[in-house]
A = this chain, B = another copy of it.
């Protein structure tokens, strides 16, 4: 499980070896087949997962159109955070784009971490602030950047996705149509 250790560390920071073992023992390795849903909107989200291999897409449907909010690749986590914490209906669907392996934890087991690892609430806080900051940056990109600029920035930071994921989904998460995406891409490749 040494890779899960890395994901935990990368999100939550330094944890003692003992604590790390405690945390990791509460996760289960599981598989999601291509096309399967890890979460459906309007259901309650009872789990949180780290992607070990494969790809998960988080999306919602409005006006009959799918809007991709994020794509989680190896090392990323996936959950509807609001639903996971508040037990409200989920706003997102989470679906596997390819056969995917995940480390998954239930809400009950997640809550145990807090009891077993004294420092946990502090680590969790830092984790949440990082997530918040990432989204702040993302909002900012929509206030201050054009479609081309968002394309370039995303390509810099996530180039590996461009040959693993249907490009229409990347277009959607960047807030543009597949056609616009395709035209920008053409320029960038020539």
> Which A residues are closer than 8 A to B by beta carbons?
60, 62-63, 65, 67-69, 81-82, 85-86, 91, 121-122, 124-126, 128-133, 135-136, 138-140, 142-144, 172-173, 175
Contacts and interface: CB of A to CB of B under 8 A. Distances in A.
A62 B135 contact: no
Contacts of A138: 135, 139
Chain A contact residues: over half helix, strand or loop, or mixed?
Answer: helix
Nearest to A127: B128
Contacts of A130: 82
Contact of A81 (B132, B139, B172, B175): B132
Contacts of A82: 129-130, 132-133, 136
Contact of A133 (B81, B133, B173, B175): B81
Looking at A82, A124, A136, A138, the one whose CB has the most chain B CB atoms below 10 A away is A136
Nearest to A172: B143
A180 to B, nearest CB: 13
A175 B67 contact: no
Q: Give the 9 A-B residue pairs with the shortest CB-CB distance, closest first.
A: A121-B121, A135-B135, A128-B128, A142-B142, A82-B133, A143-B175, A67-B144, A85-B129, A67-B143
A57 to B, nearest CB: 13
A130 B86 CA distance: 9
Given A81-B133, A121-B121, A173 B143 contact: yes
